[in-house]
Structure 1
Amino acid sequence: MTESNKPSLEVCLSPALLHLYDVKNSIVVIIDVLRATSTICTALYNGAAKVIPVATVEECVNIGRAIGGITAGERDGKVAEGLVHGNSPFEYPRDFIEGKTLVLTTTNGTKLLHMAKDAIQIVTGSFPNISAVCDYLIAQGQPVILGCAAWKDRVNMEDTLFAGAVVNRIKDHFNVDCDSAIAAESLYNTAKDDIYSFMQQASHYKRLANYGLEKDIQFCLTPDGSNVLPIFKNGELVTAEVPVS
């Protein structure tokens, strides 16, 4: 297959840049490594029936009350006021979450997910489910935008690193003519031998480490700990069957 026949693979480094990309004709991967998309795949891996991502705390509380769901989320790295649970993947073991619905609101990730609503398909990605994401994208053979949730529209290290890791794994199946994708892969290649140590210079690492969340960070940077594919359907994230490429 020639480069011209391959679908495009692009990286959007911030939600503030998403309007520059052809979302309607692409699969969009929502990336919020620390910690929304890591928590989403972990909850589903541990048997959650679904995850409902919402933009506001008020919405989260109201929907949770209406359906008897678990209300969870964070603002600036801490449990949001009015919610019972936070955004740590360790809060959702199988004996707690299995069969239940998680209603989740986060600072960055849920916002980007709703911004990408017109995409061909939306999935969520993080290091704990990187293989499921990559297998799915290869099998679909569609243009892909790796959308980084970033931090309040500012480019961040961890989402860029994950985007770069995906580019590194699947680039042979795509046409990569995107400087952001090339830059993200270059950053990943610099960090890949010890991503956790590399991340210690990042602002979000420092922010979460101040709350004693190094264990969360380590988990969120480790490949395939919760290897399922969350796919967005009718306003809900559910576990998809991942086609083998």
Structure 2
Amino acid sequence: MNKPTLYTCLSPALLHLYDVRDCVVVVIDILRATSTISTALYNGAKAIIPVDSVEKCIRLGREMECITAGERDGKVAEGLQYGNSSFEYPREFIEGKTLVLTTTNGTKLLHMALAKGATEIITGSFLNLSAVCDHLLSQNKNVVLACAGWKDKVNLEDTLFAGAVAARVKEQFTVNCDATQVAETLYGVAADDLFGFMKAKDASHYHRLIGFGLERDIRHCLTPDLANVLPYYVNERLVIR
């Protein structure tokens, strides 16, 4: 039996090079959209509606009477109630509620994948690494690991996560993809201390968030399986599979 294929797309600007139809697209935005999505759903959020503009976020929040959240350039976007930090969504606040979320990179990439014909989208973060890998191993479908990066530039943390997934699942896939090899090699170097690696390399997003005093966020987002659920996109929203 032929094995399914696994590809890694290191930037949204490269997504046009990949066929995302009839495969599982894993949207990856470690700092911080997909980490926040995992956390909010793990803590009992009813659903998360990812949108690609602040205006739509505000409008839906008003129409549906739900929480609006998101960021632009790492800070809470003007007109929204909450930001893009996992720590803003403890169980006592988010349980049973719907969150409309817009972010600089992650939610934008999800909508790009939809526009290209993606039929199955999940979101991946270190916080739900095992759930993502278990799902990919159970489906026997082609996979595209889609990194949100930062404004179309490649970033370290999303690449590291793609490498972590590849390291765990590659035996059941055909991997003829240099981007995947790069990601897995990088993860092999960094795996023992992801935060230390990001710091030592002065990763751009590390640098940006440290500047906002968000070291705790970074450390949290690099910790495996703290919110081990599978966010699955269906009916214009992310819910637990």
TM-score by length of 1: 0.96
User: What is the alpha-carbon distance in structure 2 between the residues aligned to residue 88 and residue 39 of structure 1?
Assistant: 6
Runs of 4+ in 1 over 2 A off after TM superposition: none
Aligned-partner SS, 1:29? strand
Which residue is 1:20 aligned to?
A: 17
Aligned-partner SS, 2:193? helix
Aligned-partner SS, 1:193? coil
Matches within 5 A, 1:146-165: 146-165=145-164
Deviation at 1:52, TM superposition (A): 0.2
2:139 maps to a residue whose letter is Q
User: What is the alpha-carbon distance in structure 1 between the residues aligned to residue 93 and residue 184 of structure 2?
Assistant: 37
Matches within 5 A, 1:1-245: 5-117=2-114, 118-200=117-199, 201-240=202-241
Unaligned 5+ segments in structure 2 are: none
Deviation at 1:26, TM superposition (A): 1.4
Aligned-partner SS, 1:23? coil
Deviation at 1:47, TM superposition (A): 0.3
Query: Retained in 1: the 8 A contact 2:28–2:146?
Result: yes
Deviation at 1:233, TM superposition (A): 0.4
Aligned-partner SS, 2:192? helix
TM-score by length of 2: 0.97
Query: Retained in 1: the 8 A contact 2:69–2:80?
Result: yes
Deviation at 1:120, TM superposition (A): 3.0
C-alpha RMSD over aligned residues: 0.6
Deviation at 1:119, TM superposition (A): 1.5
Query: Retained in 1: the 8 A contact 2:12–2:149?
Result: yes
**CA displacement 1:142-168 (0-9 Å, x = unmatched):** 000000000000000000000000000
Deviation at 1:25, TM superposition (A): 2.5
Unaligned 5+ segments in structure 1 are: 241-245
User: What is the alpha-carbon distance in structure 2 between the residues aligned to residue 232 and residue 199 of structure 1?
Assistant: 30
User: What is the alpha-carbon distance in structure 1 between the residues aligned to residue 145 and residue 59 of structure 2?
Assistant: 31
Query: Retained in 1: the 8 A contact 2:22–2:120?
Result: no
User: What is the alpha-carbon distance in structure 2 between the residues aligned to residue 239 and residue 193 of structure 1?
Assistant: 29
User: What is the alpha-carbon distance in structure 2 between the residues aligned to residue 199 and residue 237 of structure 1?
Assistant: 29
